[in-house]
Structure 1
Amino acid sequence: MMGPRQEAQAALFYEFSLEDHVPQAHLLRSIDRFVDLSGIRTHLAEFYSHTGRPSVDPELLIRMLLVGYCFGIRSERRLCEEVHLNLAYRWFCRLDLNDRVPDHSTFSKNLHGRFRESELLRHLFETTVTRCIAEGLVSGQRMAIDASLIEADANKQNSTPKEEWDATTIDPMDAPRAVREYLDTLDEAAFGAASNVQPKFTSHSDPASQWTAARKGPAFFSYSDNYLIDTDYGVIVDVEATRSIRQAEVGSTKTMLRRVKDRFDLHPERLIADTAYGTGPMLGWLVERKIAPHIPVFDKSSRSDGTWTRADFEWDAENDQYICPEGHALKQFRRNYSDPNRGPTGKGTARYRALKLTCQACPSKAKCCPNADARKITREEHEDARQVARDIAKTRQYEISMKLRKKVEMLFAHLKRILGLGRLRLRGPCGANDEFLLAATAQNLRKLAKIFPAPQQTRKA
């Protein structure tokens, strides 16, 4: 038969436990086991005043931010509402049913203030990486690097063409925070100093963002989120925000490799990346540090007219010359110079030439240099490192590395689809860096929770 109508009845006393109402298989239970915030107060001690009203617990703010980034809650106002209503969120944030949730404005004051000044978010991220290393998820032998475009909080309607933009006319005293950060990063390799080429448009609200059409669609303002991962389990070991140009993204690789060496004593045997990182200087930098570059070579020496390319010529390092398929030598210098300044410098691009008489009499001239009197070949400073990368590309290990590189792309897909980081909320280089650090921290915590889930406990009858 039909049961009685359910009606809410008020009671004078309730016995309620958050612990009993959070499912044992909830993701936050597994994540909570790996969140170590014991050192936050010590880390922030010098950034708080000794007088005045007590502040909101910084550990509570960090836990709420982790909830927001782990579950794709992009709005801080909505995050406060969700923590207020969701019992699992309250349990993770150590809030009882009667505890008030902080106001959303508290996040802005702390993110732009003491959290940024103390580099707390970098400290939080590195603490998570340390835990991943302790759990055996990071060996440091094989690492992969890549970058992904994240749309900035800027639009073309509030921008200036490069012909009219002049940063010297900006008064830092009256400029917004994002503009002041832009002025402070003009000499940094990841932003202003990465390239002398000015973007087509510069945003007024976030001038450090890059106007780009790299997605082969409508152009937009963006930042590049650079990930350095360990390919064993896809753990992010470092993250860096840069302008969305190749020079800045490649330059961030050196910064991150140096940092993981200093912070975690990790020095990879190989680095895996795509062709954008296969430039001569980058390959030379890696080879010099005994890091095997599993990277396709960025090479424009190929020809489209069917004639012999540089790859068809054999390099004779002992005699500093190229040997053509017909057995003739192409040399850079054919006599000794008494003045050392006129001889080879070992820097820049060297030109190797064959003798005109030899080429004119050669039966393969039509395949070699049909439109020139003699064949010329250029050799860059880091050509030896390029050859190292070409030799690696012929191995079985290189094929495996190209498959492992997809782990970085999967992390970026997860970042945008699951965590919802398709567009930034914070402006300026520091704002982009803060969001990227929090997102990478959330991804590592979710990785730990997936591999080491919380043990299931049977409920008592």
Structure 2
Amino acid sequence: MMGERTVAQEALFYSFNLERHVPPDHLLRSIDRFVDLSDIREHLRPYYSETGRPSIDPELMIRMLIIGYCMGIRSERRLCDEVHLNLAYRWFCRLGLEGDVPDHSTFSKNRHGRFRDSDLLRQLFEMTVARCMAEGLVGGEGFAVDASLIRADVHRQRSVPGEEGLPPEAVGRAVAEYLDVLDDAAFGGATPVTPKRINLTDPASRWTAATREAAFYAYSTNYLIDLDHAVIVDVEATTSVRQAEVTAQRRMIERTQDRFGIWPERLVADTAYGSAPNLAWLVEEMSIEPHIPVFDKSARTDGSFERADFVYDHDDDSYICPVGNRLRRSNRNFSTPRDRVDKDGSIRYRARQQDCQSCALRQRCTPNMPARKVTRSIHEGARDLARDIATTDAYLVSRRQRKKVEMLFAHLKRILKLDRLRLRGPNGARDEFHLAAAAQNLRKMAKIIPMARPAPA
């Protein structure tokens, strides 16, 4: 006999326990162990009025943002709908069945006001770092640094040539933020080169063709990670140029030392961080071993002698060419000594013209010049140390460990869906990068540290 469904009738009372309906292996249940927002109220108290109508609970908004970035929910409108419908999300937000979900506009109002004024999202990220350290996931012996391009939320056609600059009618919050960071070493002051194009919607985003795809506007998210468990110890938003990424690396290392007292023994990075001034900063000022390939353009493709074919004599401060002649800073004696240091921090060593003209290897050494010149950086000692480290077994291990930061960027874009920014301006990029890095650290702890088994009945 064919059955019929029973028509649901409204009951007078319900007995419903939200705790029982969240699976014990749910990701948010595991993450909840490491979320301590007890200090948020005191941190934000100076930014709230003592009178007036009670506001939306800031802890509720932060918990909702954590859900959004941990679960890859990019829209705040959709996030509000999901929290309204999903029992696990309600449990994480401490809402219960009858709790009201705030409107999506509440996030924008607080983000542009209290959250940024108090630097709350930075504090949230540092809270996750401190908890990772308390759980023993940060060794502090080796760090890795890298940057990744994140598309800006702009239309590529709405732009003007860089040499024209912004038109007078360009206004908006993103434009005001762009003007504020024109002298910042991580944005406008990173390079004197005028950008090829400037976007009118978000001028601080950088027109870049660094990938194989068509050129696009982007920001760079910079990660400094601990190599033990790939915990993100610092994050920085910059414009998408190499000089800004090196500046971000220095800021993150110094900030990590000031905030957490971590002093790594070695830093692992790619060639973009192998410039002579940066290697000297790591070695001479920070006492950090650079496991970094040296950025060197001395190689030649015409078959002539390279700088590596010349031997440097430290005692005499000169180079010896393949036939035994010496190249010196100057072949003349001056009453007032000259340092012979160029503006780019390099020293030129020159051979005597009569030595080169009578040399049998002239065509292989200097076929187009009357005498050979060799340049040497004033930071060549740090470069030599980096070259020596590159011949060790520890360097090979570091090169393999550097892939951990690349994996974090892949996780950021493919799992957390942050391949394109939703907020605009430098402050919007910072907010998104801080929240995403905090979410990655929370997911890392949830994955590595098992939950306690429930006691048997």
TM-score range, shorter chain: over 0.9
d(CA) in 2 for partners of 1:420, 1:401 = 28
1:170 Cα deviation after fit: 6.5
State the match for 2:44 in structure 1.
44
Q: Name the structure 1 match of 2:257.
A: 261
Tell me what 1:63 maps to.
63
Q: What's 1:284 paired with?
A: 280
Residue 393 (structure 1) shift = 0.9
TM-fit CA distance, 1:396: 0.8
- Deviation string 1:195-219 (CA, Å, 9 cap, x unpaired) is 1212111111111010111112211
Segments of structure 2 that go 5 or more residues without pairing to the other structure are none
Q: Tell me the C-alpha RMSD between the 2 structures.
A: 1.7
TM-score normalised over the length of structure 2: 0.96
Asked if 1:333 corresponds to 2:346, the answer is no
> Quick check: 246-255 or 153-162, which moved more?
153-162
Q: Any idea what SS the aligned residue of 1:54 has?
A: coil
Partner of 1:305: 302
Identity across the alignment (%): 64
Letter in 2 for 1:281: P
**In the aligned structure 1, how far is the partner of 2:77 from the partner of 2:35?**
23
Q: Which residue of 1 aligns with 2:160?
A: 160
Query: Equivalent residues in 2 for 1:61-460 (5 A)?
Result: 61-166=61-166, 169=168, 175-288=171-284, 289-340=286-337, 342-345=338-341, 348-457=345-454
Paired residue secondary structure (1:206): coil
Could you report, residue by residue, the CA deviation over 1:115-174 in whole angstroms, capped at 9, with x for unpaired residues? 00000000110111011111111111110010010011111222111232247x478xxx
- Contact kept, 8 Å, 1:90 with 1:96, in 2: the verdict is yes
CA distance in 2, matches of 1:311, 1:2: 89
What amino acid is aligned across from residue 200 of structure 1 in structure 2?
Answer: K
CA distance in 2, matches of 1:117, 1:357: 68
Residues in 2 aligned to 1:24 and 1:455: alpha-carbon distance in whole angstroms: 10
The one-letter code matched in structure 1 to 2:281 is: W
Q: What letter is aligned with 2:266?
A: R
CA distance in 2, matches of 1:36, 1:364: 71
SS in 2 for 1:50: coil
Runs of 4+ in 1 over 6 A off after TM superposition: none
**Aligned-residue offset at 1:457:** 2.6
Quote the offset at 1:6 in angstroms. 4.8
Is 1:29–1:454's contact at 8 Å kept on the other side of the alignment?
no
Q: Secondary structure at the match of 1:148?
A: strand
2:374 aligns to what SS in structure 1?
strand
- Greater shift, 239-248 or 346-355, is seen at 346-355
Aligned-pair CA distance for 1:280: 1.1
Q: Distance in 2 between matches of 1:7 and 1:275?
A: 69
Aligned residues between the structures:
455
- What's the offset of the Cα at 1:453? 2.8
SS of the residue 2:163 aligns to:
coil
Q: Within 1, Cα distance between the matches of 2:57 and 2:456?
A: 32
Match of 2:22? Answer: 22
Tell which deviates more after alignment, 270-279 or 376-385: 376-385
CA contact (8 A) 1:24 1:456 kept: no
SS at match of 1:143: strand
Unpaired segments ≥5 residues, structure 1: none
Q: C-alpha distance in 2, partners of 1:77/1:239?
A: 27
Q: 1:363 Cα shift?
A: 2.9
